[in-house]
Amino acid sequence: MDNRHPASWVNGEPASEVLISDRGLAYGDGVFETIRVQAGAPTLFDLHCKRLCSGMAVLGIPFDLEAFKNEVSDFLQTQNLKEGVLKAIVTRGTGGRGYNPQGCDRPCRILSFHSLPVYPGNPAIRGVRLHQCNTRLGDNAFAGLKHLNRLENVMARSEWQGTDCLEGLLLGMDDRLVEGTMSNLFLVSGKTLRTPCLRKSGVKGVCRDLIMGQARQWGFHVETGDYHLKDLAGADEVFVCNSVNGVWPVIACGCLHWSVGSVTRTVRGRVQEVLNA
C-alpha cells in the first residue's frame, strides 16, 4: 500500500477527487470517521456507524446505512485491504453557492485507506506527554459529532512539532478540560474513570464510547462531568484514547507527572483486545 496514493473511492467508484462545489469543501458540511481496519475488517464498526448516523441526523443529510456498510465491505474486500486506517467522509454533496442546503439530497461518500500511523517511543506502553494547547475549543451547537469543521483541532495541533509531545490537551474557553486534539481524555481516581461530558464541545470518540459501555464489566465506574486542571492535577492516572491508537497512558502535561498505572494498563489491554480482534 503506497500511502502517498491511497486507495480511494468516491460514491462507490475508484476516484481521488471531488467536485469543487461539494459542500464538504465549501462549508465543512458533512462528517467523517477514522476506522481501524484489522484482518480486513473495520473494528468498532457498529459504534462508528452509530456516530455517523447521529451526525447525519443532526445535519439532516439523508443516509442509507446499509448501503454504506456494503460499500465499506466491498471497498476493503475488492482491494484486499487488510490492516490500516479507513477514512470515511460523508458530505451533503454538491449544491449551489450559498448556505441553504435545500435540494442537496445526494450525499457524497468518500472512502480512503491509509497505513496505520507510526509513533516513536512505544506510546501505548511507555505513555505520552501532552502539550497544553493555547487554542481553546469554543462551545458549539454540534458538540459530540465528528463533523468536518475541525479548524480548532488543526490549529491546536500546529502549536507543537517534534516527538516530545505526541498529543495536545484542549481546554474550553471557560478552562474546562475537553479532550486531546485527536483523542478523548480520561482521569482515573481509584476505580473511577472520569471523562469530560462533551455537551458543549469536543468529539464523542468511539473508543471513549467503548470504554464507557464496557467499564462496569471491567470492574470500573465511569463518571462524566465538567473537570478542570485541578482535577487533572489530582488524578491518580491519566490516559487518552482513540479508535486507531487505542489507549495511551499520559505521563506528563506541563509540570504535572503521572506513572503508567494499573487501571490504565487494564483498560488499554481490554481496548487492544477489541482493536486486534
Residues that bind a second copy (CB under 8 A): 3, 6, 8, 10, 15-29, 32, 34, 59-60, 85, 87, 89, 91-92, 96-102, 110, 112, 114, 117, 135-136, 138-142, 147-158, 161, 173, 181-182, 201
CB of 140 to a second copy, least distance (A): 4
Task: Give the shortest CB-271-to-a second copy separation in angstroms.
Answer: 20
- The number of CA neighbours under 13 Å toward the Cβ of 77 is 6
In sequence order, which residues have a C-beta less than 8 Å from that of residue 230 and are 6 or more positions away? none
Nearer to a second copy, 20 or 255 (CB): 20
Compare residues 18 and 256 and give the one whose CB is closer to a second copy.
18
How many whole angstroms separate alpha carbon 64 and alpha carbon 199? 27
The residue assigned the cell 461539494 is 22
Q: How far apart are CA 181 and CA 168, in angstroms?
A: 6
Query: Which CB atom, from 5 or from 39, has the smaller least distance to a second copy?
Result: 5
Helix (H), strand (E) at residue 114 = strand 108-114
All residues at 6 or more sequence positions from 93 whose CB lies less than 8 Å from its CB, including other chains: 22, 23, 104, 105, 106, 107, 108
Least distance in angstroms from the C-beta of 273 to a second copy: 25
Q: Which is nearer to a second copy, 201 or 264 (CB)?
A: 201
Name the 3-class secondary structure at 25: helix
CB of 74 to a second copy, least distance (A): 18
In the bound complex, what is the minimum distance in angstroms from residue 150's beta carbon to a second copy?
A: 4
Longest dimension (CA), the chain: 55
Nearer to a second copy, 30 or 194 (CB): 30
